[in-house]
Amino acid sequence: MTIIRHQPEKKAPPDAFSEGRTPTFEESAKESLSNSQLRRNLGKATQTIRRKRGVAVAEMPDWEELREAGRALKARTLRHLDDYLVELEESVKRAGGQVHWARDAEEANRIVAGIAKSHGAREVVKVKSIATDETKLNEYLEGEGIAAYETDLAELIIQLAGETSSHILVPAIHKNRSEIRELFMRELGVEDLSDDPPDLANAARLYLRKKFLSAKVGISGANFAVAETGTVCVVESEGNGRMCTTLPPVLVTLMGIEKVIPQWRDYEVFMQLLPRSSTAERMNPYTSFWTGASQGSGDGPEEFHLVLMDNGRTDVLADEIGRQSLNCIRCSACLNVCPVYERTGGHAYNSVYPGPIGAILTPQLVGIGEPGPDSLPYASSLCGACYEVCPVKINIPQVLIHLRGKVVRHKQDEGGLRERLDPENVAMQAMGRIFANRRLYEGAQKAAHVGQWPLARSGTIHRLPGKLAGWTEARDLKPVPEQTFRDWWKTRRGGPSPNGSTGDGAS
């Protein structure tokens, strides 16, 4: 097997964290729903991992207690986040590391690029990190003349294909192995390659090995960082993360401020919750911990930088209902059980955070007021499957509903005449008035029965007008019957009475 090139050169399409507008979920979902290959790949993958997770979790007699412990730990940490972050900074410095604070993505990228440049690095190797996807670090580095190489197999696939991740943990879940084989043959110039997973992995390994050995700077994200000791942790399953965090002499870790945990012993809870929830494994294959820099011991990087990034997180923290979103340990269980995600795939969310967690995190991080992110809280039937599996008990349906309220209030309060005259808003206002008054309500019931006659054909409605047409594209509708329940109740009890027919004074 020979590998003749290459340079990552393709640009990923923009998302909620890039400049400019993104399409709404409805618009993007339309496209992915009609892609039969994608539907098949995703359906198969999510169903398998869902079943496996069920088995792995059922083995644990104290699973519910563990979930509660995880939730409580996160909630307590978030309540005192400022203290824990300062403690973390001190611990890292004590261990010979350097700490940087970044208000937003721009600042984070500038810091990381600055460190790389100060070492004259033209190439950096990366461990899979969603935080760096969020800041669009790779593009930024490219602009500074630095090539960033993704070393996680799936991330590499995505990078080579010039796509974006469609899953938190399995970024290339939307691709099957024959698609990957073709991509490697094309992009890595491999000639004789089968679509056997070991062969594919081997091709990637050959390509990456050189990069690991030559790169001066490694870049990682963090799953956790312990305030007490300054120990940073990356959880992965291929071993590439271990190479990135140990081989290059300089290591830079970019992490969101919500990833801090108070003590070493807190790992006990998260290391049980995370692998079973994400990959359905009892134990995670490669868990790397490092504390500061090697300080001449030869163990670990000579220079270590920790970049602590806000980028909208303190705004999330300020929202009483929304803040639980910061509990997330990125296990991706909610994606795997989500019936919407299973059918639309991750790209429909136009964000580095897809699926249920993305639907609540993205609009909170980027802020309400853009059609793309604003459509995400609506990308759910509120079935609650995500909440049921979430290892840190984020009540995702509750946050979704809360955010829908924020989206509507934002439109009503900040929007102009157009928003107020929006047919949905007008209809909701009218229905609110009708439901608030019994006489109006009963009148509307009659009007609905009378008003539907142009639509009903032999006892069925096949087509609705306007925005409601979506319903009748695949579903018939039963017409409004002549006698409502309350009409029947009156006939049954012998005529209407002013207050509840049994003479009930409750109204």
Partner 1 sequence: MRVALFITCFNDTLFPETGRATVEVLERLGHEVVFPEEQTCCGQMHFNTGYQREAIPLVRRFVEVFGPYDAVVAPSGSCVGMVRELYPLAANLANDNELLYEVEELGEKVFELSEFLVKKTGVTDVGAYYPHRVTYHPTCHSLRMLKVGEAPLKLLRRVRGIDLVELPEAKECCGFGGTFAVKNADTSVAMLGDKLRHVLDTEAEICTAGDNSCLMHIGGGLKRQRAGVRTVHLAEILASTEER
Which partner in partner 1, ligand SF4, none is near 405 (CB below 5 to 8 A by kind)? partner 1
Give the nearest distance from C-beta 425 to partner 1 in angstroms.
Answer: 8
Strands 231-236 and 260-261: unpaired
Q: Does 391 bind ligand SF4 (CB under 6 A)?
A: yes
Cβ 71 vs Cβ 392: under 8 Å: yes
Among 333, 379, 385, 408, binds ligand SF4 (CB under 6 A): 333
CA distance 367 to 141: 26
Angle at 65 (CA atoms; ends 61, 68), nearest 5 degrees:
150
Q: Does 359 bind ligand SF4 (CB under 6 A)?
A: no
Which partner in ligand SF4, partner 1, none is near 357 (CB below 5 to 8 A by kind)? ligand SF4
Among 394, 403, 407, 408, binds ligand SF4 (CB under 6 A): 394
Give the nearest distance from C-beta 341 to partner 1 in angstroms.
Answer: 10
Which partner in ligand SF4, partner 1, none is near 466 (CB below 5 to 8 A by kind)? none
Q: Which residue has the tokens 């032999």?
A: 458
Minimum CB distance to ligand SF4 smaller for 229 or for 287: 287
Q: Does 392 bind ligand SF4 (CB under 6 A)?
A: yes
Give the nearest distance from C-beta 375 to ligand SF4 in angstroms.
Answer: 19
Query: Residue 236, SS3?
Result: strand
Angle at 226 (CA atoms; ends 224, 228), nearest 5 degrees:
175
Q: Does 330 bind ligand SF4 (CB under 6 A)?
A: yes
Give the nearest distance from C-beta 404 to partner 1 in angstroms.
Answer: 3
Which partner in ligand SF4, partner 1, none is near 429 (CB below 5 to 8 A by kind)? partner 1
Which partner in partner 1, ligand SF4, none is near 380 (CB below 5 to 8 A by kind)? partner 1
Residue closest to 390 by CA, chosen among 344, 433, 326: 326
Strand partners, 98: 305
Q: Does 328 bind ligand SF4 (CB under 6 A)?
A: yes
Among 41, 245, 253, 332, binds ligand SF4 (CB under 6 A): 332
* Tokens coding 336: 């795997």
Q: Does 329 bind ligand SF4 (CB under 6 A)?
A: yes
Q: Does 403 bind ligand SF4 (CB under 6 A)?
A: no
* Beta-carbon count within 10 A of 94 CB: 12
Q: Please spell the DSSP secondary structure of 388-433, one letter per residue.
A: HH-TT---HHHHHHHHHHHHHHHHHHH--HHHHT-HHHHHHHHHHH
> How many residues are there in the chain?
507
Minimum CB distance to partner 1 smaller for 5 or for 492: 492
Give the nearest distance from C-beta 363 to partner 1 in angstroms.
Answer: 12
Minimum CB distance to ligand SF4 smaller for 115 or for 390: 390
* Helix 153-161 and helix 197-214, axial crossing angle in degrees, nearest 10: 90
Q: Which residues, including other chains, have CB under 8 Å from residue 9's CB and lie 6 or more apart?
A: none
Residue closest to 84 by CA, chosen among 220, 340, 260: 260
Chain residues 92-131 in contact with ligand SF4, contact rule CB under 6 A: none
Chain residues 406-445 in contact with ligand SF4, contact rule CB under 6 A: none
Q: What radius of gyration, in Å, describes the C-alpha atoms of the chain?
A: 27
Give the nearest distance from C-beta 36 to ligand SF4 in angstroms.
Answer: 27
Give the nearest distance from C-beta 235 to partner 1 in angstroms.
Answer: 28
Cβ 407 vs Cβ 374: under 8 Å: yes
Q: Which stretch binds ligand SF4 (CB under 6 A): 371-379, 387-395, 397-405, 419-427?
A: 387-395
Give the nearest distance from C-beta 456 to partner 1 in angstroms.
Answer: 13
* Beta-carbon count within 10 A of 32 CB: 18
Cβ 293 vs Cβ 301: under 8 Å: yes
Which partner in partner 1, ligand SF4, none is near 392 (CB below 5 to 8 A by kind)? ligand SF4
Q: By the criterion CB under 6 A, which residues form the site for ligand SF4?
A: 277, 328-334, 357, 389-392, 394
